Amino acid sequence: MRLTIHREGFKILTYLFIFLASINVLMFYAFPEKVVVTNSVLVISFIVFLLVLQFFRSPIRQFEINDNQIIAPADGKVVVIEEVVETEYFQDKRRQISIFMSPFNVHINRNPISGMVTYFKYHSGKYLVAWHPKSSTENERTTIVIRDKYNHEILIRQIAGALAKRIVWYLETGKEIEQGDELGFIKFGSRVDVFVPLDAKVNVQLGQKSIGGKTVLAEFSA
């Protein structure tokens, strides 16, 4: 699989490289006789840079559009599958499927279906751990509703976790989107909730790993 670096990482990686390089240069000139210390700092700097670099990796994937399927919006682990009352938009019962994204997952978010964005709202909030039951309603988050050409509507919620300090989105109300395209990015650990109709057939299980744009979360009944 080919990998590239996501555009959201360019600035952070550049600043981090300059910062780490500056520290190592200072250490080299300040403590030239302490080779063990300067080498240790160099190794730690290299590891830190690699960890951040892998966070912004962007695997190149091929997507097959299927209007009947709701695909995973993110890489991660399925941590919630339950019937809930969605109170922000639908004011009705829906099936919630949640994916937890650790710092080691690809953090690109993708459109689960094709259609039009009929609702978008950003909410400032707390930074509870992403698996906390109240993170879906109290953390910093976005709410996005997409309606397809058959009038199916699903809701996606990007949720910041304890480490995530910035949610990025590329959608707005009225925008036509395609399944598999990028809808946003969440930096450093987070969660994505998807609310589907109760009659949709769920195709994943708790604890299952998901691949953004590939794993089929559910299928519409008609």
Question: Phi and psi for 107 in degrees, rounded to 5?
Answer: -110, 20
Angstrom distance (rounded) from CA 146 to CA 169: 14
Question: Phi and psi for 65 in degrees, rounded to 5?
Answer: -75, 130
Q: Give the CA count within 13 Å in the CB-facing half-sphere of 172.
A: 0
Q: Tell the burial category of 123 from Cβ atoms under 10 Å away from its Cβ (0-12, 13-18, 19+).
A: middle
> Which is catalytic among the residues 45, 190, 210, 221?
190
For the beta carbon of residue 124, count every other beta carbon within 10 angstroms: 8
Q: What angle in degrees, to the nearest 10, is found between the helix axes of 35-55 and 10-30?
A: 180
Provide CB contacts within 8 A for 180, sequence distance 6+: 61, 63, 65, 71, 110, 111, 213
Q: Is 190 a catalytic residue?
A: yes
Angstrom distance (rounded) from CA 111 to CA 130: 20
Q: Which residues are catalytic?
A: 190
